[in-house]
Structure 1
Amino acid sequence: MEEGKDSTATSRTNQYRVLPQRLLQLLVLFLIFCTAFLVISIYMIRYFGVHSVVTATQPSFQPCIEEPTSLEHWIRPQANLLHTMTDKELLWRASFSPRIKKYPFTRVTKIAFMFLTKGPLPLAPLWERFFKGHKGLYSIYIHSLPSYQANFSSSSVFYRRQIPSQIAEWGKTSMCDAERRLLANALLDVSNEWFVLLSESCIPLYNFGVIYHYILKSKYSFIGAFDDPGPYGRGRYNKYMAPEVNITQWRKGSQWFEINRRLAIYIVEDTTFYPKFAELCKPACYVDEHYFPTMLTIQAAKLLANRSITWVDWSRGGPHPATFGRTDITEEFLKRILGGHSCIYNDRPSSICFLFARKFAPSALEPLLMLAQDFLGF
């Protein structure tokens, strides 16, 4: 019995000796694992950045809606112009207008340059030079055919400035739809105060500083709106336009306008006149020649300069103005565009009457770049 007791005690003693050894081995393995994890983590942070490590530990739940918590949310211009709003939603959103006229922040007034084009902007290098050095004083918006994929470099002022677009056909309602779409997108930036409609064939006739101050200091918006008693004016009027529009209010003018924010809001919020034009003004009644001049004359005649500041040449006849190519661009040609004009600016005579000109073919780019510094000032 005593021998049995001794044997059992010896066995238990040996067992107790084995257990600490196993615990020690587990502890050593745990320390090795922790050391390896620490080394790997340091390596990942150094070479891949801290976000790659932290991201894995973030909770999967994210809030669905970012609630606006400051004024900055409302006044910050959109970095990405692409959105999923329908035209109806966009026009409604763009019609928002503050009732208090004094801004509670420092507002740098900008001009929105809106390009209505089928596809590329062949004169873009000239415009790049025009805009250079004036960041923060302008915004750019491009409405092209939906199928066109722009390939401007990331350093270009035109990079990612395309808005959601649809097909626009000359003389049809879709053309006015495109222009209203441009205005609505530009109105989303509260710093845009003036809105200039341009085509891919337009060029600036002065440097940015001259054009900026000329437009911002104007008491009036620039759009041609005249009563033409002939077949291409009143002859296009439809009696069913009444009572919204009677024949004495019917106006004609160029679609290329330069208007202030107040008039731009009139255009995007209009649900009275536009349906009438969409229904009743069809070729040979061209909506883009009559809608804006007529509607704005009815709504705000006293705010119109009743002239365009985009120069065109109709001397060659036909339904479209003359187009100028490489051989047309000479010193004498530019002097003719820039000089010899007389108009009224802010109720006073002025010799500076046109700030932009059209139509210029892609081949005109090279000679324009060569002469721009001496004649256009940029």
Structure 2
Amino acid sequence: MAGKRKDKKGRILLKNESERSDGRYQYRYTDVFGKRQTFYAPTLDELRQKEKELQRALDNGISYSGGKMTINELVEKYLALKSRKCYSTVTTYQSWADSIKQEPFSQRSICDVTKQDAQLWFQKMQETGRAYSTLSAYKKLLKPAFSMAIDSKLLLQNPFDFRMDSVASNDTVKRNALTDEVITTLLDFLKNDKQYARYYDVCVVLLYTGMRVSEFCGLTTSDLDFEQRTISINKQLLRRNDGSRYIQRMTKTKAGMRTLFMSDAVSESLHNMIREREKQKVSPMIDQCGGFLMLTRQGNPVVACNLEVPLKKAVTKYNAEHPEKLLPRITPHIFRHTFCSNMLNDGVSLPNTQAMMGHENPNTTLTYAHPDATQAMAEMARINRQREQARASV
């Protein structure tokens, strides 16, 4: 035992252990990335307990030091891998990350978070007023971030691998496709209202093409072929959250690059927008691209918020004037849901509807489809009539 290092109590210190001048104990080691690491404990027994945890992590191929990073640090690493995704997706994920940072829970080390901890955190957030949709967004970011940590040998289990409805009640208002009656009421009101008439043509184009709002904003006159009755969808126009500048990007997915049919109603509305645009003295250029179909009163290309706000105000105005026949909440994006539902309900095949929507995955198209009870009844009646006629002819 001669020559062995001891602490002040005469206990022999093992390799890499030492006692500090302040009475605490420390252990130094080299992690799986070749970096020197140190952890501390107030007592020798607690230090050795941490050494056992370290050894178990190493035996399982897990980075003990990496597991000490906080939830916020893990999310930032995950977002760095998302940087090549489309701009709107990255922006959305970053906004979720910024919200998560405001939660004290996010300062915890990822190795200390259990599934029960995560579930209790979500329950408490809903109890304090967080919406179910907000919690779902958090989970949509945190679950894959922790999966990345598992792939990187930082953890063994994912604490966010659970069903949302098992810990929180779904208070989300279901988004429904617009009925024919609602569509007729809205379009009639817009067409005859001096204040909001300029948004009539926008609604027609979105309703009968199913394009994304950002794709509509990115449309230019060169994308329209009135002779062949086609619309080329090849880009989207966005603006930074702080409003500092416009951003022109390719479509959200490769499948988003598509050609859409131009109906008579859509053709008329597009012509109307072009005539209105030509009244502007200057045609703005974004990334050397000009000829945008719709401009704000200040002469700038419209983006999503320039359409969402006035449409909301138009519905509010209509409801104030017609309390006996209220319109539901309507956003530009609901026209895309309505288009998809109408295509499928009218018998268009899923692959063809998927192509028109610009979705890479048919399951995404199905999430946009909203069954209509009235149409379902009509379809049931039609099929039964056919079967009855077939039996009668035998």
Give the shorter-chain TM-score range.
under 0.3
What's the TM-score, normalizing by structure 2? 0.24
What's the TM-score, normalizing by structure 1? 0.25
